[in-house]
Chain A
Amino acid sequence: MIPVECYFVLSALLFFIGVYGFVTRRNLIAMLISVELVLNAVDINFAAINRLLYPNGNEGMFMTLFVIGVAAAESAVAIAIIINVYRQFKSDSVDAIQNMKR
């Protein structure tokens, strides 16, 4: 049997690897990939807490399911914005964007 702390440590490590990527990368798509890492860390926590601490309910599982749906929608809109930014500024770096509107 795996204690729930193992899952917590795994997801905490994944979360802060994502935070590190979000802070250091300057490419918009790379930052978005880091956000996906953070979201997956949170999903692991929801599923593990539900399964190992409160196995009688299903709340954590449904929360994870909805988070997956929201993350898919979020990344689609973010990619649309990034493509539009590239069209406007001819760059995919955050440093290239000085004003919201040219």
Chain B
Amino acid sequence: MANLVMFIILAVVILGSAVLCVTTKRIMRAATFLLFVLFGVAGIYFLLDYTFLGAAQVSVYAGGVTMIYVFAIQLVSKRTLQGFEERVKSSKMIAGGLAALAGLVVVCLILLKAGFYTQEIANVEVPMKEIGMALVGSGKYQYVLPFEFISVFLLACIIGGLVVARKEEKDV
């Protein structure tokens, strides 16, 4: 029962912040509402007893990615910070709303018709040792290859970001 109440609170926070995030005119407010959505999703992970996942969500997403967004907004959108309002054509808004609604109806019908059997979960979190062993082990159900791939990928992204964003010395 307590879980259900928590889930409803988190769902309301997530969906309300998400709607405000995509409809607000100011970009900085959109980033702030994104932060609330990310915290709500972290709460969902805690509710599912994925403590490590929730901590990773808070530290990587809410701590890192949102900070990148705030810096990018400060660097890029000077007009949007000074109350410049992004205008959205109402025809485009209706088209987008209809497309999203159609997709939502299709997905919900498919998912609700499929008839999943929810298992009763014992409220135990995945032990940290198991997560660590699975991340760097090379056996069955262990994930050293994607782990290493992600680290190389992150390195490539750092280098790519530096190359893309660096200032050209000579103007062409």
Contact = CB atoms under 8 A, between A and B. Distances in A.
Interface of B: 3-4, 7, 11, 14-15, 18-19, 21-22, 27, 30-31, 34, 37-38, 41, 44-45, 48-50, 52-53, 56-57, 60-61, 64-65, 68-69, 71-73, 75-77, 80, 86, 88, 92-93, 95-97, 99-101, 103-104, 107-108, 111-112, 116-121, 126, 130-131, 134-135, 141, 143, 146, 150, 153-154, 157-158, 160-162, 164-165, 167
B75 A14 contact: no
Contacts, number: 227
Contact of B164 (A14, A23, A65, A80): A80
Contact of A9 (B41, B61, B108): B108
B9 to A, nearest CB: 12
A48 B56 CA distance: 16
**Interface SS, B side:** helix
Contacts of B37: 14, 37, 40
Tell me which of B92, B97, B118, B126 has the highest count of chain A C-beta atoms within 10 A of its own C-beta.
B118
